[in-house]
Amino acid sequence: MFRPSRREFLHLSGGAAALGLSGSLTFVPSAIADEAREKGYYTYKVGDMEVTSIYDGIWEKPHDDGFIRNATVDETKAALEKAGLSTEFIPIEFAQTVVKTGDNLVLIDAGTGGQMSPKAGATVKNMKAAGLDPADVKTVLISHFHPDHIFGLMAKETNEQTMPNAEIIVPAAEYKFWTDPATLEKMPDGFKPLVQRIQATIPNWKNVTQVDGEKEVAPGIRSLPLFGHTPGHTAYHISSGDDELFVVGDVTNIPALFVVNPGWQVSFDAIPDLAEKNRRMIFDRVISDGAVVAGYHFGFPNAGTITKDGDGYLFTPMS
């Protein structure tokens, strides 16, 4: 499994962040990102397990004052510029994780289904490019019910299941929240269509399994509740031999913004203080365990390592 040596890491990050000091470089670009995006996938090993990052695409989100509750647009642009990224928009990339465990093909989150952004929806195409047949997926693990994570489960026009033969495992707390009739009444008008779509589909599917707490959901894979982004947001811990991978979903968003500034609270977080608490907790655990971490919106490839940097953290992607 990818673990950069101290020498390699110091070379990548200019040394300061790797030593826990706050340096001028807040984001380590991936040397293979463009090539991996072009291919649409990136494969690596976690012990004996083969793991593949699948690129679904990008949402070039316009800036707005409400995107980060406690940071301005100017501060957001400054953080993007400092990281060497475009300031014209907020680059929200989507990337899923596929794990081969035994004879099981496990997909973690289902992608946008081409229903979120004109530049996203490439999951099926890129899985096939990686030699992975979506029809062979036996288990789909869902981190939470935001549209970019579940719309890949349902056809755009008909809501017909796209993976009817797979077991879809969902966090029980997440299921309870989104399927509660009271949730529809409480939601702002802009969110009501999402709630209505969820309530019209997922409760009627016979292949949905709810899980509570930490539980083995597939060989070598355990659910890890990290509530806050949504009421039931859940990560997945993968282990094989001495190797570990944490697939953390939306515990945080773009590394150049929210890994560096874990106290910044994105508008998508339902329970902001809890989201921040769990964000810091899981980053500290990843560091303590010497593990690899994969984030749904970490860019591509979406996996790498986390190190402490002052009051924040630094994400170093695989290269």
Mean pLDDT of 236-243: 97
Instruction: State in Å, rounded, how far the first CA of the chain is from the last one.
Output: 12
Q: Which fold has domain 6-317?
A: Metallo-beta-lactamase; Chain A (3.60.15)
> What integer pLDDT is reported at residue 21 of this predicted model?
34
Query: What's the predicted TM-score (pTM) here?
Result: 0.91
> What integer pLDDT is reported at residue 154 of this predicted model?
98
Mean pLDDT of 90-119: 96
Helices 172-179 and 192-201: angle between axes, nearest 10 degrees: 110
> What integer pLDDT is reported at residue 26 of this predicted model?
56
Q: Is the pLDDT of residue 219 over 60?
A: yes
How far is 201 from 193, CA to CA, in rounded Å?
A: 12
The pLDDT tens digits of the residues spanning 179-210 come to 999 999 999 999 999 999 999 999 999 999 99
> What integer pLDDT is reported at residue 78 of this predicted model?
97
In which band, very low, low, confident or very high, does the pLDDT at 11 lie, cut at 50, 70 and 90? very low
The pLDDT tens digits of the residues spanning 286-314 come to 999 999 999 999 999 999 999 999 999 99
> What integer pLDDT is reported at residue 30 of this predicted model?
74
Q: Is the pLDDT of residue 119 over 70?
A: yes
Quote the strand ranges of the chain, DSSP E.
41-46, 49-61, 90-101, 104-108, 137-141, 167-171, 208-211, 216-218, 221-225, 234-240, 243-247, 292-294, 303-309, 312-317
How far is 132 from 281, CA to CA, in rounded Å?
A: 33
Mean pLDDT of 81-97: 96
Percent of the chain with pLDDT over 90: 87
The pLDDT tens digits of the residues spanning 12-62 come to 333 333 333 334 445 666 778 889 999 999 999 999 999 999 999 999 999
Q: Which residue has the tokens 């009421």?
A: 231
DSSP state of 161: B
Q: Is the pLDDT of residue 126 over 50?
A: yes
Average pLDDT, the chain: 91
> What integer pLDDT is reported at residue 13 of this predicted model?
36
Mean pLDDT of 68-93: 96
Angle (nearest 5°) at CA 139 between 138 and 142: 155
The residue extents of the domains of the chain are: 6-317
> What integer pLDDT is reported at residue 28 of this predicted model?
67
* pLDDT higher at 167 or 101: 167
